[in-house]
Copies of this chain bind each other. A is one copy, B any other.
Amino acid sequence: MVQDFIQQTDDRTRQLTRDLLRQIHHAVLSVIDEAHGYPYLARIACQADEDGIPLAFLSEIAVHTRLLESQPKAALLIEAPPGRGEAMAQARLSLQVVARRLPDHGPAHAARLASWLAHNPKSRAYAELPGFHFWRLEPHAGLLNAGFGQAYRIGPGDIRTPPADHVRGR
């Protein structure tokens, strides 16, 4: 990323980043459509995993999932839920990520699914359909926009938290 005019990341912006991630139910995913040379965009179901890293829950027949399977370098836009203010003035986090599909069995999968459903009970509608899988979206680089003209560079170390700090119901 071009990195001019970007301010120094501090504890406040690191906390804002983690808070943003902790409350999301969905995010915007961008994948590269290599056959046509364009990016491709979709809104996806997304939450923070146990250690704060973004976790997606994707249908294997979706266009974006198929593109992700051939090119795992992707991007994610995470925004605060709509409030009273203008979306352009609200905090948002733009991440470049590497996507990795997780196994669909074992105690780690069961714990992840239970945590996902606890954080968003309405997700049961799709979570139990066949062909949905968890994907970890490991951050490579990021930019936090905390309002007009306030940009901060965010790295993987600003996002990952020890599981003990994790506040979601388990």
Residues of chain A touching chain B, judged by Cβ–Cβ distance below 8 Å, are 1-2, 4-5, 25-26, 28, 30-33, 36-43, 45, 61, 63, 66-67, 73-77, 79, 82, 86-88, 92, 94, 96-97, 122, 126, 140-141, 143, 145, 148
A170, B30: Cα distance in complex, Å: 35
A66 partner, pick from B2, B63, B79, B96, beta carbons under 8 A: B2
Give Cα A1–Cα B64 distance, bound, in whole angstroms. 9
Rank and list the top 10 A-B pairs by shortest CB-CB distance, nearest first: A82-B82, A30-B39, A30-B30, A38-B96, A41-B77, A39-B75, A39-B39, A41-B75, A38-B73, A41-B94
The answer to whether B75 touches A43, judged by C-beta atoms less than 8 angstroms apart, is no
Q: A32-B32, A38-B96, A140-B38 are in contact. Are A43 and B4 (CB under 8 A)?
A: no
Contacting residue for A40 out of B1, B5, B33, CB 8 A: B1
> Contact between A63 and B2 (Cβ–Cβ < 8 Å)?
yes
Residues of B contacting A61 with CB < 8 Å? 4-5
- The residues of B that contact A33 with a CB separation of less than 8 Å are 1, 96
Q: Do A92 and B5 touch (CB < 8 A)? A: no
Residues on B with C-beta less than 8 A from A36 are 1, 96, 140-141
Q: Contacts of A39 on B, CB cut-off 8 Å? A: 30-32, 39, 73-75, 96
